[in-house]
Chain A
Amino acid sequence: MIGQAPAGRRGKLAGWSTRDLLVVAAIGAALGVALIPVTYLGLTLMATLGPFLYALSTSLSRVPSVMTMYVVRRPGAAVLGALVAGLVQVPFTPTGWVILVAFALSGAACELPFLLTRYRRFGLPTLMISGAVAALLGLALQYVPFGYGNLALLVQLALILTAAAGGALITGGLAKLLADALAKTGVLSGYAVGQKRQEV
């Protein structure tokens, strides 16, 4: 008996092989687990030192999005990497499904600059812009519930600048550094980021 399901029409994510899917998910999961302490740190920072360091810590949590996009260079990679990074945190942090929504949104924000370049540019500037855009959009979402609107205007301005710079340097920069270091091990030889290093 050969499967009797309707054949022909290709499913969603048709261009994605299981391998690409799992590699993105694995990077998302590994970084997601590594980010669990960052999520807690974020909660504590929020409590003690306030929104500035919190903005920096959320920049860390966007590394998986930008890194997976940089590695597989396929539409949707940033969202997918973020989704999995958020999902693996669900059972381990008190933030529940809310963190999933937060990660999905920030993944979409990271995806935006790549979408606008039609997935043709993957250099450091694009990665940094992606990180900065996502940080700013993320900050905008926090404005209301965290009451940032009630802060002194100078403080607000400083907050916006910190978020943008943190997003560019931490998210974009670290994603590239990590992905390049990983590519040197040869495990990414099947992907564009690892191609130029191929030996044998």
Chain B
Amino acid sequence: MQTFYRDTGAFLQRLNPLSKVLAFFPALVFVALVTDPWTPLAFIVLTAATVLVLGRVPFGYFLKVAGPLLLLVVGFLIFYPFVVRGELVAGSPVLFTLGPLTVYEAGILYALATALRIYALILLSLSFTLTTDATDFVRALVQQWRLPYKVGYGALAVFRFVPMLGSELAAIRAAHRVRGLSEGGGPRARYEQLKRYAVPLLATAVRRAERTALAMDGRAFGAYPERTYYRRLRFAPRDVLFVGGFWTVCLLIVLALNAAGLLGPLVLLQTT
């Protein structure tokens, strides 16, 4: 299975994973609450630039991952105008009618704003995935944000199960084919099929979990309330620089949009 992480050794990849969470979090919350299309658009550009410049993620690769997600925007544009609440579009010019459904210009605008907002949220999340080693993220959560180490290392141990589960699934499918089993059918057949795959997969995972637990206990896992760490994850000056810098840029964008009169009211402050 392909992970999205690109270890280019660039600035973003060398950051503490948590500083990326800190930097992006306010932006995510803010974008989730805006109602105009311009703010998400600005954040889409900012995020793409950050990933491409500071993360040195190859442009082609970025397009390959981020491109298909644009379908989402298109989907929203098609679906949303038909179901939007009546009073929001009252008085807006009618674009066209399709049987009992009427599409207003305001409906399209709402759809566009919502679609861009969701795309901006996804891109902000994607920038983390593209530049962060998931195991380092777990370590940082354990060491710095007090995720109980038992949970963190339990999760790390089963990270190793993922490729095993993938190859097991392939083996199970092949084994079923040898038995002359075909896929597809009605809901009942679907459930039977799900069960035939899931049960051996889960059984293998549970047994392996029990063996791994013994190997971990045999190396004193959970012996003490705390443990020491060979590799200590900390916030370095570059992390402070990045978080501060990113927040500043975000703030400047918001101020600029506001000055240009493009920033719409935030959802929570809306009075409709």
Contact = CB atoms under 8 A, between A and B. Distances in A.
Interface of A: 3, 5-7, 9-13, 16-19, 21-31, 33-34, 36, 43-44, 46-50, 80, 83-84, 87-88, 90-99, 144-147, 149-153, 155, 177-178, 181-182, 185, 187-188
Interface of B is mostly: helix
A50 B82 CA distance: 11
Interface string B229-268: 0000000000000000000000000000000000000011
10 nearest interchain CB pairs? A47-B75, A26-B209, A11-B225, A96-B125, A96-B128, A91-B3, A22-B209, A47-B72, A145-B32, A29-B158
B103 interface: no
Contacts of A80: 151, 154
Given A88-B158, A98-B125, A16 B84 contact: no
A150 B84 contact: yes
A146 B75 contact: no
Contacts of B162: 29, 33, 88
Interface centre among A6, A25, A80 (most CB of B within 10 A): A25
Interface stretch (B90-98, B175-183, B211-219): B211-219
A181 B195 contact: yes
Given A13-B150, A18-B216, A49-B79, A23 B210 contact: yes
Contacts of A24: 154
B122 A178 contact: no
Contacts of A33: 1, 162, 165-166
B165 A3 contact: no
B44 interface: no
Contact of B148 (A5, A13, A98, A155): A13
Nearest to A50: B79
B110 A147 contact: yes
Given A9-B225, A46-B76, A80-B154, 5 more contacts: A11-B226, A23-B209, A96-B129, A97-B125, A182-B199
B129 A95 contact: yes
Interface residues of B, number: 83
A34 B195 CA distance: 12
A95 B5 CA distance: 12
Interface of A is mostly: helix
A5 B114 contact: no
A152 B264 CA distance: 22
Interface string B62-74: 0001100101111
Given A27-B206, A43-B72, A178-B198, A22 B158 contact: yes
A46 B80 CA distance: 10
B138 interface: yes
Given A26-B206, A90-B137, A145-B32, A152 B199 contact: no
B32 A7 contact: no
Contacts of B213: 17-19, 21-23
A29 B244 CA distance: 35
B203 A182 contact: yes
Contact of B154 (A25, A47, A50): A25
A50 B195 CA distance: 28
A47 B115 CA distance: 9
Given A18-B213, A43-B69, A92-B2, A182 B32 contact: no
Contacts of B85: 149-153
Contacts of A150: 84-85, 88, 110
B33 interface: yes
18 contacts: A18-B154, A18-B216, A24-B154, A27-B205, A29-B159, A33-B162, A44-B71, A44-B75, A80-B154, A84-B158, A92-B2, A96-B132, A98-B28, A145-B118, A150-B110, A152-B83, A185-B203, A187-B207
B101 to A, nearest CB: 11
Given A28-B158, A30-B161, A97-B21, A3 B210 contact: no
B11 interface: no
B225 A16 contact: no
Contacts of B52: none
A18 B121 contact: no
A151 B155 contact: no
Contacts of A181: 195, 198-199
